[in-house]
Each structure stands twice: as C-alpha cells, then as structure tokens.
Amino acid sequence: MKKIVVCDHIHNDGIEILKKANDINLVIAYDEAKDELLNTIADAQIVITRSSTPVNQKFLDAAKELQAIIRAGVGVDNVDIDACSKRGIVVMNIPTANTIAAVELTMAHMLSSARSFPYAHSQLKDERIWKRENWYGTELMGKKLGIIGFGNIGSRVGVRSKAFGMEVIAYDPYIHPSKATDLGAKYTTSFDDILACDYITIHTPKNKETTNYITKKEIAKMKDGVILINCARGGLYNEDDLYDGLKSGKIAFAGIDVFISEPATSNKLLDLDNIVVTPHLGANTKESQVKISIQSATNALEVARGISYPNALNLPIKEGEVEAWAESYFELAQRIAFMAAQLNKGVIDSIKIGATGEIKKYLDSLKTFAAVGALREAVGEQVNYVNALFLANERGIEIHGEEENIQTPYKNRISVRVTTNKDTIVVCGTVFDEDTHRIIDINGFDMDINPKGKMILLKNSDVPGVIGDVGTLLGKNNVNIADFRLGRDKNSQAALAVIIVDETVNKEVLEKLAALPAALSVSYVEI
C-alpha cells in the first residue's frame, strides 16, 4: 500500500476521507517537529503539505521513495519544483478551491480602499471619535476597473464589479477575447488601457514574467489617484515603488493581502495610512478550507491508485501557453488511455492519440498525458508526466499523435488507440462546459459516460433479455448498479453495455457474466 503523510494541518473533512480509504497507509504528522517529519517521510510515496513545510533539498533527500506532492492550496513558493522534476516527483496544487474566497476578498479590498472602512471603524471603535467629515470616499459606480489576468478569479471579480456599475477592462494575453466580452467586459491587448483605469487589480500567477509586473515605470503612466489591489501573490507589484507611489499620493489607496516576505509584520507598507492590509487571507474561509482539504485528499487517493495526477505543475507544458479549456482534455486523455489499457491488457506496442477541432494544436501535450494513462497498466507506478515519453521509448512503445479530420457534432474530440500483442482498443471522448468529461465512443459503440468509477463492460449479442439477466445476476451477488449505458452497433448486431457499479467486482462475478448466453466478452475497469 502507498504511504500518504499529511505534513500540515488540513480541515478534518479531508482527513476523514483518507481515514476511510482501506488501500493506503495514512500517517498524520502535522504535529511533528520538522526534524522528526524527515524520518516519517523516509518511506512515503505521497505527501500533503501547506506553506509551513519547506519542500527543499533536505526534505527531498529524506523522502527517498517520494512520488508526488500535493500542496493543499494555490501557492507553491515553499516547493522546489525543479528539484522535484529532476527526481521525477510530480507536484500538484489545489488551484480552484479558494476561488470564491479570493474573489470576495478582492471585492472587500476594493470597497475598503474606496471608503476607508478600516480607518473609520478604528476611529469610532478604538478612539471613540465621531467625525463623519474625515471619511469622504469614492463610489465604484462608473469607475474603470483594469483587471490583469482574467482567469478563474479575475473573471469572477469582473462579474461582481459589473454588478457595482463599473466599466471592466480585461488584460490577459492567454485567453480568447470572447471570455471577457461574453461577460460584458472590454478585452484589450494594450497594457496602457489598464494603466489608464481608476482601479487596477492583478490576478496572475507569480513567475519570471509577472514578478515586478508593476513598477515605478507603470505607476508613472497611471492616472493620479489610482487605487491598486493585490490579493494574488506578493511581489507582482514592486513593493518599494508601491510605497513611493502611495507616499507621494500618486496612488490614492491600495488594498494588499500578499507580500514578498511573510509574515510581513515589519514591512514598511504598514507605516502608511492610505493602505488596507490583511495577512494573506485569500483562502481563509471555512468553505474554502473544506474544499481544499477534500480536494487534497481526493487527489492523493487518485495518485495512490494510479488514476491521475490532478493539477500537476511540473508538466510538459509551459505555464501561460495553454488555454484553460484545453487542460480538461489533457486529463481526459489520461483517463481514457488508462481505461483503454485496462480493457486491452497485454504488451503495449503503440499508443495513438487523435484530435479533432481546436484541441489539435495541443497534440504533443496530449501524447504525454495519454502515455501516462496507458503506461500505468504496463509500466507501473513509476510513470509520471516527467518521465512518461522516456519510459515508453525505453520499452519500444511507439507513441503517435494525429490530427483527425472527421465529421463530428463535437467542437473538440480526442481518441486514444492502444494496441497490444492481443488487440486494439479505441476510446473517444470530449469535454462539455470546460470541465465535464465524457466518453462518447468505445470501439465504434456510441456512448455517453463519465470516465470515472467502477465499470463492467459487457459486449453481447443484441437480443432481448440481456439487461434483465445482467441486473438479476448482479443483484444476486450484492453488486449495486449505479448507472447502465448501452451502445448498439447495427452492422455487427452487437451491443456494448457499460455498467457503473458501487462495489468492486470480483473475478467470480465477471466469470458468471461471461457465461450468460448472449455474452461475447466481459471486462472490468476502475478509473
């Protein structure tokens, strides 16, 4: 069994999910001293961390068997990703669980900056002074808001700001303009349009491109009395230049939740009286902490069971070069390849990934994800995004990518063909609403199923009574059916049933299904 070590505190809901899993060795180590923790992780395959555990060279040297790190949160400043990649260790974070919390905190900082709420509150409550004339603020209504980074958080800030009557201008070179315009925002490719706004808020990851994104050069171009917000990452605004801008009055007010060095108790920005600060509270809601813990636990179990590496960061794709909608297809490719390999157990000769639609431009990345999924059955637990293509080449497995120009009702469609020394299996899929995965075809049989869970695949002669026979047999063996999907092939007069069940199905039950008069083949997969 895989050993999962929880190094830092996460909400108990996530802990309970891990405790209920009977196929892992769980160690709760968040109360251990960091030196003791190094001994605990020596034989761990998976760790869950937060910001208080530095995943540095010392940590990695101690964790000899480490395969994956789940960072329970968005930021990975405490993780040496390059060192992990060299070791073939996959690093994952939880990028969306705190989305609403970060959005609402941004709005709180905008309102506080517009109306000086914290200072008015302090004067009345702490000093017992009633001076309304000290607190003339400004209204959001009619003001221009420039949003740098229009992803999960930035776009939601835009929607809420529109509700306040603001004119929203989005700057994000990595999104399609329609993502902004469909929400009623103006999309711009000129950064000067952002610098001309009354309010500016930034929602980008922190990397070489975005560190010191706003400096005195950009501040000089801004309108006098601009208000700046940063609830993303410390250092996106140059702190020295931000201080000077606030001190001079060029920047009327700032709302800051994140700092270059934290805890920021000695940061000189705190000396100013035209800034609202909070101690990195972006994810600090009860709801987001529950979501983070549940997703961290679920992801750790998916890794332990060899299903997928959700939200892995050290992937064969460069940050910012992939449109958000495409990422769901990468995970889908891995899932259906994993399914295909389970359906076609044998020595893999080749893995072929096909793509129709805009997803075609990401064929290289799709190949890697499909390889990880398919090789899980053939190679074992050591395969990951970092070494998948190398391992395939080492074993003489050919991996192909092909643009498919076929007639399809779907905007984007991918297929994975796994060929072994025994057979060839083709599974096709698509994504609805950016993150809803669907298998739409299995070896020519039309389908509509979610590639997740325990599934029996029964190919049978298309004759009456099969569904009843299957239901009766499974019922007698205490196997509960959660869903039953049927695909038909008129040419071969055969049908394919995908039966999603709640319990793991043993070999004896599968043999009984295979013995049914109409049965042609029976397979079982877990995704």
Active site residues: 233, 262, 280
b (16+ CB within 10 A) / e for 196-216? bbbbbbbbbbbeeebebbbee
Rounded distance between C-alpha atoms, residue 453 and residue 505, angstroms: 12
Rounded distance between C-alpha atoms, residue 418 and residue 378, angstroms: 11
304 token code pair? 């332990």
Rounded distance between C-alpha atoms, residue 234 and residue 238, angstroms: 9
Residues 6+ apart with CB under 8 A from 42: 62, 63, 64, 65
3-state secondary structure of 253: strand
Rg (alpha carbons) of the chain, rounded to whole number: 27
Rounded distance between C-alpha atoms, residue 400 and residue 350, angstroms: 8
Question: Do 484 and 459 touch, CB atoms closer than 8 A?
Answer: no
Rounded distance between C-alpha atoms, residue 40 and residue 43, angstroms: 7
Burial of 104 (0-12, 13-18, 19+ CB in 10 A): middle
For residue 485, what are the β-bridge partners?
498
Residue from 68, 35, 34, 69 nearest 49 by CA = 69
